[in-house]
Amino acid sequence: MFIFIFLSLWTLLVMGREEGGTGREKGVGKKCHPSLPPRCPSGSPSDQPWTHPDQSQLFADLSQEELTAVMSFLTQKLGPDLVDARQAQPSDNCVFSVELQLPPKAAALAHLDRGSPPPAREALAIVFFGGQPQPNVTELVVGPLPQPSYMRDVTVERHGGPLPYYRRPFLIREYQDIDQLIFDRELPQAAGVLHHCCSYKQGGRNLVILTAAPRGVQSGDRATWFALYYNISGSGIFLHPVGLELLVDHKALDPAQWTIQKVFFQGRYYESLAQLEKQFEAGQVNVVVIPDNGTGGSWSLKSRVPPGPTPPLQFHPQGARFSVQGSRVTSSLWTFSFGLGAFSGPRIFDVRFQGERLAYEISLQEILVVYGGNTPFAMMNRYMDRGFGMGKFATPLTRGVDCPYLATYVDWHFLLESQAPRTLHDAFCVFEQNKGLPLRRHHSDVFSHYFGGLVETVLVFRSVSSLYNYDYVWDVIFHPHGAIQVKFHATGFITSVFHFGAARRYGNQVRENTLGAVHTHSAHYKVDLDVGGLENWVWAEDMAFVPTAIPWSPEHQIQTLQVTRKQLETEEQAAFPLGGASPRHLYLASNQSNKWGHPRGYRIQIINEPVEPLPQNSPMERAVSWGRYQLAVTQRKETEPSSSSVFNQNDPWTPTVDFADFINNETIAGKDLVAWVTAGFLHIPHAEDIPNTVTVGNSVGFFLRPYNFFDEDSSINSADSIYFREDQDAGSCEVNSLACLPQVAACAPDLPAFSHGGFSS
Ligand SMILES: *[C@@H]1O[C@H](CO)[C@@H](O)[C@H](O)[C@H]1NC(C)=O
Ligand SMILES: *[C@@H]1O[C@H](CO)[C@@H](O)[C@H](O)[C@H]1NC(C)=O
Ligand SMILES: *[C@@H]1O[C@H](CO)[C@@H](O)[C@H](O)[C@H]1NC(C)=O
Ligand SMILES: *[C@@H]1O[C@H](CO)[C@@H](O)[C@H](O)[C@H]1NC(C)=O
Ligand SMILES: *[C@@H]1O[C@H](CO)[C@@H](O)[C@H](O)[C@H]1NC(C)=O
Ligand SMILES: [Ca+2]
Ligand SMILES: [Ca+2]
Ligand SMILES: [Cu+2]
């Protein structure tokens, strides 16, 4: 049912756009250009299949053919008991997911840097074995692709023991069975009170459920609070709580044994819906009537005004300046490979600037959203979105809204809860963008008269995940002087709950009977920088005022500003608690020096509104112990690939991955290092979050910036640089390439038809 939810949202967005789009452009074209200028060369570079075998595709997500091959191999090996995960009951065996198993770094580098044969391409399959006396979850590595011949159970080697079955992520089928339990078996028992409060009709489907997480209070629990909302068609249900929340125990492998353990209704708790109904009939329940306003309400995303003039567009007057081949992006300055972890989300690999590798991997690891409130749903929620899947919940990018109209859009193939691969169209976009801002400039009117400058153009890699109500826009932005910026924006709907009692302690009222519940958003990133090679050192620099006798006037003192420099030796020294003191500058460096004798480094600059982590005495804190640190640098380990796990959400009390374990006082001097970065913000929903949270201001992330890595600002070599002196004719094309624009950019962009990747079913 949650699938419907975000699908409906998209319909609205797309319809709104389509209605105004094309007609408008035609009209403008006619008015401004009686005779149309020539078309610009290949306006929108389409992504090209991988054709050059020398171009590494080590990090490319599995193709449809590879996914199909893995699935048929598994079907052969695991026997006839395997059930399609879309239909599987808890007591069945099914393949939950198949995705790329990342190659070991040493083997990948041997191939990329030393011409060794590429490591075997492998898949990682997560299999639920529910149909055996001791059900378990098993991780299987399957290879080599494209024709698998082996399958290795890596569960014990990776997790030190079996993965208990109760840690398994939810299947859509499990939701459907709970939905059925609630609507067919349970709600009819409270038909009277629900009719009164919530326009309920027996057999009608005007309500939907949303899941809380985690699911219980201790390891082994599988008992989830579900909140009920009006099923508003074509818009977010998230703003329409009716004040009913149900605790469902669905631990038993047989859905017939699932039960409702507790009922929350508009501020009070009941043992069952039957008890609620009985008290209602006895006149003991104070019912707040929640109007069902249907689809036309103020929360609709449908435009309330007719389309106006087209907003500004960017185009490539001389063709795109980058290319996308398979999963590899190449521009004149940058190359990188990209992918989408089914659960971990967007990631890039082998990132090179002017041919030199800066990072082996930069990847999202987890998103944590911690709520507060006075209803059980709001009180309970600590969503660890990896457990749902940042890739699994990725959405198509809508041309001209999610990315520039002329961006390059790339599909993603996946095999999740199904027996055949499926395709998410336009899952990624890559584009070059003129920021309309100088990257640098100087205008001189003193001593001599000249101007020098460079417009900031960036290369952007983007994807978007819609995790139920929230939409996260994931960006990696490549700047022309060697800096990389990683950030995410949050948009979409807030989650709201029924407003009663001391609700304002937990947020702001945003509608009639509706509380926008306070919450935090925190993201964790893995940043495997390789600065001038694998062996790196960590430097902390800061400022200090040092009292100094003034040399020419020694009886006076001056507070002299100095730089303090320290090389950090251990993982403990390089783990900086959120809210604690951290050095203002922290960078990873090689032992090579630049021309001026300084270690060549890359600085990690975090742009963050640090949120308080879960208190360490919370029994589930270890599942998100990465949240303790703003930044931590550890030795890279093949056995520590991720700071979180798809299994942490459903058993946070015995976390499958506890990031704090990575920090065990090992040396970080001259080792292959990984920096782990946390970025987040506090969100107290307010009136302007209705109907949607806007991206503006709701964005955090970090920069990776060259720090003595070069001998000078490398953008000085940019072909986009502009320089002219007073005695030169700045209007001449030979002196100033911008003066050529009227000639070289006098073409009309060749706009492709509007496209949207469609809705899944
Ligand atoms: C989990 O179940 C599978 C399938 O029966 C079995 O091969 C595997 O050994 C079990 N894992 C553990 C750790 O017991
Ligand atoms: C919600 O309403 C739509 C139509 O408005 C209907 O198609 C859908 O089945 C309903 N969803 C649920 C979960 O009842
Ligand atoms: C919702 O409906 C009620 C009565 O049905 C009406 O009083 C109220 O103004 C409506 N609210 C909105 C936001 O349309
Ligand atoms: C840098 O470190 C590498 C590996 O530890 C070593 O081989 C090399 O000699 C060092 N170079 C300098 C300039 O210290
Ligand atoms: C870390 O190791 C150093 C020696 O390398 C030792 O002096 C220090 O006490 C250790 N710290 C912790 C927290 O174990
Ligand atoms: Ca360690
Ligand atoms: Ca590294
Ligand atoms: Cu929020």
Which atom of ligand 1 lies nearest, measured to the CA of 163? 13
Residue list, CB under 5 A from ion ligand 6: 634, 662, 664, 666
Topology of 172-295 in CATH? Nuclear Transport Factor 2; Chain: A, (3.10.450)
Distance 279 CA to ligand 3 centre (A): 28
| pLDDT band at 531; cut points 50, 70, 90 | very high
535 C-alpha to ligand 4 centroid (Å): 9
543-593 tens-digit pLDDT: 999 999 999 999 999 999 999 999 999 999 999 999 888 999 999 999 999
Q: What confidence category does residue 298 fall into, taking pLDDT thresholds of 50, 70 and 90?
A: low
Q: Whose CA is nearest to atom 8 of ligand 4?
A: 591
User: What are the beta bridge partners of residue 478?
Assistant: 459, 484
* Predicted pLDDT at 41: 81
Confidence of residue 48 (pLDDT cuts 50, 70, 90): low
Look at residue 36 in the predicted model and tell me its pLDDT.
75
Instruction: Find the ligand nearest to 536 CA.
Output: 7
Cβ of 736 below 6 Å from ligand 3? no
Res. 17: pLDDT tops 60: no
| Nearest-ligand number for the alpha carbon of 163 | 1
pLDDT of residue 559: 96
Q: Please tell me the predicted confidence (pLDDT) of residue 135.
A: 98
What residue's CA is closest to ligand 5, atom 2? 665
Pocket of ligand 1 (CB under 6 A): 129, 132, 136, 138, 155-156, 162
Residue 206 Cβ < 6 Å to ligand 2: no
- Please indicate whether residue 4 or residue 114 has the higher confidence score (pLDDT): 114
pLDDT for residue 125 is more than 90: yes
Is pLDDT of 521 > 50? yes
* Most ligand 2 atoms within 8 A of CB, residue of 9, 233, 237, 295 to mutate: 233
Ligand 2 pocket, residue 745 CB under 6 Å: no
Neighbours of 131 (CB within 10 A): 17
Q: Which atom of ligand 5 is nearest to the CA of 664?
A: 14
Give the pLDDT band (50/70/90) at residue 677. Answer: very high
Residue 13 has pLDDT above 70, yes or no: no
3-state SS class at 558: strand
Residue 468 has pLDDT above 80, yes or no: yes
Report d(CA 393, CA 208) in Å as an integer: 19
Residue nearest to atom 7 of ligand 3 (CA): 291
Is the predicted pLDDT of residue 441 greater than 50, yes or no? yes
Strands 334-341 and 328-331: antiparallel
Percentage of the chain with pLDDT > 70?
92
pLDDT above 60 (res 506): yes
CB 37 within 8 A of CB 746: yes
**From CA 647, how far away is CA 31, in angstroms rounded?**
59
Alpha carbon of 359 to ligand 4 centroid (Å)? 19
Q: How far apart are CA 573 and CA 753, in angstroms?
A: 55
In this structure, what token pair is assigned to residue 319? 């063709």
- The mean per-residue pLDDT over the stretch 242-264 comes to 98
Q: Which amino acid is at 28?
A: V
pLDDT of residue 627: 97
End-to-end CA separation in angstroms for the chain: 11
Compute, in angstroms, the gap from residue 575 CA to the centroid of ligand 5: 14
Average pLDDT of the segment spanning 620-647? 98
- Closest atom of ligand 4 to CA, residue 590: 1
Architecture of the domain made up of 322-437+458-711 = Distorted Sandwich (2.70)
Question: Which residue of 591, 593, 667 sits with most ligand 4 atoms within 8 Å of its CB, as the best mutation to test the pocket?
Answer: 591
Nearest bound ligand to the CA of residue 611: 8
Q: How far is the CA of 663 from the centre of ligand 6 (A)?
A: 5
Cβ contact 560:548 at 8 Å: yes
**pLDDT of 315:** 92
Residue 610 above 90 pLDDT?
A: no
Which ligand has the nearest atom to the CA of 153? Answer: 1
Closest ligand 2 atom, CA of 1?
13
Nearest alpha carbon, ligand 3 atom 11: 293
What are the distances in angstroms from CA 133 to CA 130, 442, 447?
Answer: 8, 74, 86
Residue 400 pLDDT grade (very low, low, confident, very high; cuts 50, 70, 90): very high
Atom of ligand 5 nearest to the CA of 569: 5
Model confidence band, residue 22 (pLDDT cutoffs 50, 70, 90): very low
Res 4: pLDDT: 38
Q: Which residues, other chains included, contact 701 with Cβ-Cβ below 8 Å and sequence gap of 6+? A: 475, 485, 486, 487, 488, 606, 607, 608, 679
> Rounded to the nearest whole angstrom, what is the distance from the C-alpha of residue 665 to the centroid of ligand 6?
6
Which residues belong to CATH 3.10.450.40 in the chain? 64-165, 172-295
The minimum-distance atom of ligand 4 relative to the CA of 592 is: 13
Lowest mean pLDDT among 134-143, 336-345, 610-619: 610-619
Closest CA to 511 of 290, 210, 196, 295: 290
Tokens, residue 117? 């044969």
Q: In angstroms, what is the span from residue 623 Cα to ligand 8's centroid?
A: 21
The predicted pLDDT at position 424 comes to 98
DSSP 397: P
Locus of tokens 């949303």 = 210
The response to whether residue 291 sits with its C-beta less than 6 Å from ligand 3 reads yes
**For the chain, where do the domains classified as CATH 2.70.98.20 start and end?**
322-437+458-711
Give the CA diameter of the chain: 94
Mean pLDDT of 526-545: 98
Is the beta carbon of 298 within 6 A of some atom in ligand 3? Answer: yes
Q: Which amino acid is at 494?
A: I
Q: Which residues line ligand 5 (CB under 6 A)?
A: 570, 572, 665
The Cβ of residue 84 has, within 10 Å, a number of other Cβ atoms equal to 14
Give the model's confidence band at 24: pLDDT under 50 very low, under 70 low, under 90 confident, else very high.
very low
What is the CA(430)–ligand 7 centre distance, in A?
Answer: 25
DSSP state of 273: H
Tens digit of each residue's pLDDT (9 = 90 or more) over 683-727: 999 999 999 999 999 999 999 999 999 999 999 999 999 999 999
Distance CA 214, CA 170 (A): 11
Residue nearest to atom 1 of ligand 1 (CA): 136
Rounded Cα distance, 333 and 350, in Å: 14
Name the residue with tokens 């520039």: 404
- What is the C-alpha to C-alpha distance for residues 512 and 398, in angstroms, rounded to an integer? 32
Mean pLDDT over each residue of the chain, to the nearest integer? 92
Q: How far is the CA of 290 from the centre of ligand 3 (A)?
A: 10
pLDDT at 202: 81
Query: Would the pLDDT of 270 be above 80?
Result: yes
Write down the pLDDT at residue 52: 47
User: Closest residue (by CA) to atom 12 of ligand 4?
Assistant: 591
Classify residue 311 by burial, with Cβ atoms within 10 Å: 0-12, 13-18, 19+. Answer: exposed
The whole-angstrom separation of Cα 102 and Cα 96 is 18
**Ligand approaching nearest to the C-alpha of 666:** 6
Average pLDDT of span 606-633: 95
What is the CA(560)–ligand 3 centre distance, in A?
66
| Res 297: pLDDT | 61
Tell me the pLDDT tens digit for each residue of 178-192.
Answer: 999 999 999 999 999
Which ligand 1 atom lies nearest to the CA of residue 155? 13
Cα(297) to ligand 3 centroid in Å equals 8
Residue with tokens 């109209």: 405
- Report the alpha-carbon distance of residue 749 to residue 303 in Å, rounded: 27
**Ligand 4 touching residue 670 (CB < 6 A):** yes
Q: Is the pLDDT of residue 470 over 80?
A: yes
Instruction: Name the CATH code of domain 64-165 (choices 3.10.450.40, 3.20.20.60, 3.30.1360.120, 3.30.465.10).
Output: 3.10.450.40
Atom 12 (ligand 3) nearest CA: 297
> What pLDDT sits at residue 34?
56
For residue 694, count other CB atoms closer than 10 A to its CB: 11
Query: pLDDT confidence of 233, banded at 50, 70, 90?
Result: confident
What is the reported pLDDT for 29?
Answer: 35
Active-site residues: which are they?
385, 470
Contact 1, 208 (CB under 8 A): yes
Q: How far is CA 498 from CA 206, 209, 260, in A?
A: 17, 14, 20
Give the closest residue (by CA) to ligand 3 atom 10: 293
> 355-377, pLDDT tens digit by residue?
999 999 999 999 999 999 999 99
3 has pLDDT over 60: no
Nearest listed ligand to the Cα of residue 160:
1
- ω into residue 214 within 30 of 0, thus cis? yes
What pLDDT does 55 receive?
A: 58
Ligand 3: which of 197, 293, 299, 300 to mutate, most ligand atoms within 8 Å of CB? 293
